[in-house]
Amino acid sequence: MNKAITNIFKKPVTEEVTFKDEEFEALGIRLKKDIDTIFGRSLAIRELDSGSDNAAEIELNNLGTPHYDVERFGVTFVASPRHADVIVITGAVTRNMAGAVKKTYDATPSPKYVMAVGDDACDGGIYKGTYAVLGGADMILPVDIKIPGNPPEPKELMKGLLALMRSIRNRR
C-alpha cells in the first residue's frame, strides 16, 4: 500500500527529452483529439509500399522513433491489413505490385480510408505513362487524401493525418 502511494508521487524513471519540438507536439495533441472523437482512442495504419524509392518508408518509420513517437497520440502501425483503419500507400503502383495492392485493400475491413504519401503515389510522379507502372494510387484504389512531397517530412505526414481526420469528420 505504502509502495503504491509512493509510486504515484515518485518522479517518472524516464529521462527528460531534450529535443521537444513544440510545433510537432501541438500537431500531435490535435491529432489525438480527433482520433479520440472519430476512432475512439486509436488509429491503426497499414503501410503499403506499391513501388516507392524507400525514402517514404524511412520517414514513416521515423514517426515511431523517439523524436516523434506517435504512439503517444494514438497512432499505431499494424502488421496486418485486417487490423487497419487506414492504408498509407507509397510510390507509384507498379504492374508487379498491382495484384498485391488490391488484395491488401480488399483484406482491410470497412470503413477504411486510403492516404497516398509522396509525389509518386499521388500521380505516378516521374514514372507516369511508362510501361512499368499503372500510375498513382488512385488508378487502383479510392484515395481519400494525397500528401505530396518527395518524401514528405514527419510534420507533413502529421498534417496529412489531420487533414484526413477533417475530411472523415466532414463526411459523417
Partner 1 sequence: MELIDDIAYTTRGRIVESDAKIGCNNDVYITLAERDLETVMHLLSASAYELASLFCVEGFDAHAAYTLLYAFEKKPYKEIAVFRLPLRWESAPSITSSFPSASWYEREATDGYGIRFTNPFDERRLFLHESYPEGFHPLQKGFKNSELDTMENGEPTGAGEYQFRKVAGEGVYEIPVGPVHAGIIEPGHFRFSVIGETIYHLEIRMFYKHRGIEKLAEGKTPEECVRIAESISGDEKVSNAVAYCNAIEKLCCIRPPERAWRLRTVFLEMERIYSLLGDLAGMCVDVAFPVGASPFFILREEILRQNKALTGSRFMKDVIGISGLKKDVPEDALKQLPTFLDKCIETFEESVEYVRSTPSVIDRFEKTGVIRKELLAALHITGPMARSNGLSTDTRIYHPYGLYEKIKPNVKTVDEGDVLARFETKASDILDSCRMIKKALDDLPSGPVSTDYAIRDGYATSLVECARGQSFHWIWVKNGVVDRYKIRTASFCNWQAIEHAVIGNIVPDFPLINKSFNLSYSGTDL
Contacting residue, 151, 160, 161, 168, with partner 1 by CB under 8 A: 151
Rounded distance, CA 139 to CA 82, Å? Answer: 22
Rounded distance, CA 41 to CA 29, Å? Answer: 12
Contacting residue, 24, 30, 42, 94, with partner 1 by CB under 8 A: 94
The verdict on 163 binding partner 1 (CB under 8 A) reads: no
CB of 135 to partner 1, least distance (A): 8
* Site map (CB under 8 A) of partner 1, residues 95-114, x = contact: xxxxxx-xxx----------
The verdict on 25 binding partner 1 (CB under 8 A) reads: no
Rounded distance, CA 36 to CA 33, Å? Answer: 5
Residues 153 and 59 sit within 8 Å (Cβ to Cβ): yes
3-state class of 133 per DSSP? strand
Neighbouring CB atoms inside 10 A of 26's CB total: 11
Which among 83, 82, 63 has a CA at the least distance from the CA of 152? 63
Contacting residue, 3, 4, 11, 129, with partner 1 by CB under 8 A: 129
Q: Which is nearer to partner 1, 100 or 163 (CB)?
A: 100
Instruction: Note the helical H segments in the chain.
Output: 2-9, 22-38, 55-62, 95-107, 119-123, 154-171
Judged by CB under 8 A, the chain residues 38 through 77 that form the site for partner 1 are 47-62, 65-67, 77
Which residue type is seen at 150?
Answer: N
The verdict on 82 binding partner 1 (CB under 8 A) reads: no
CB of 39 to partner 1, least distance (A): 20
Residues in contact with partner 1 by the rule CB under 8 A = 19, 47-62, 65-67, 77, 79-81, 91-92, 94-100, 102-104, 126-127, 129-135, 140, 150-151, 153
